[in-house]
Amino acid sequence: MSTLRVIRAGARPTKQAPASNFTGTVFSDEVVTGTGPSRMRASVVSFTPGARTFWHSHPVGQTLYCLSGAGRVQKEGEPVQELRPGDVVVIPPDIRHWHGAAPDRLFAHLAMSELNDRGEGTAWFEPVSDSDYAARPAPVT
């Protein structure tokens, strides 16, 4: 029999995101790690100023819901964009990109993605260079 579960906030300690995939200090709070047939993955990721992901891609894409602070996102080959609370970022499958905090502000987003039908998740690449990170963001229109 299935039962509704409440996972209490204190039951899952905040984890530090691994230095193998992130630059700077980043914390992650798990929200959902689906069990089959669900492939859902969701977590709240909190970036300290200047912190960001490495370049990476998602096999089924990713949606980011910006919760607080000031953030940045970039698709490879396009300008860096500013992110503000309430913004939603829709990232297509297999697109190289990064996301993180502004240089001088905290930033938190809810990150939502799915594994593909082979069970594969995020593909990680190299760090975002300081010069790529420091590029002036495109004006918000």
Nearer to Mn ion, 6 or 34 (CB): 34
DSSP bridge partners of 64? 89, 111
- Least gap, CB of 10 to Mn ion (angstroms): 28
Q: How far is the CB of 62 from Mn ion (least distance, A)?
A: 5
The residue to which tokens 């594994």 are assigned: 115
> How many other CB atoms sit within 10 Å of the CB of residue 57?
18
List, in sequence order, every residue forming a beta bridge with 82; answer none if it has no partner: 72
Cβ distance to Mn ion smaller for residue 46 or 62: 62
Q: Which is nearer to Mn ion, 7 or 93 (CB)?
A: 93
**Contact yes or no for 61/92 (Cβ under 8 A):** yes
Residue nearest to Mn ion (CB): 62
Of 70 and 98, nearer to Mn ion (C-beta) is 98
Positions in the binding site for Mn ion (CB under 5 A): 62
Minimum CB separation of residue 11 from Mn ion in Å reads 26
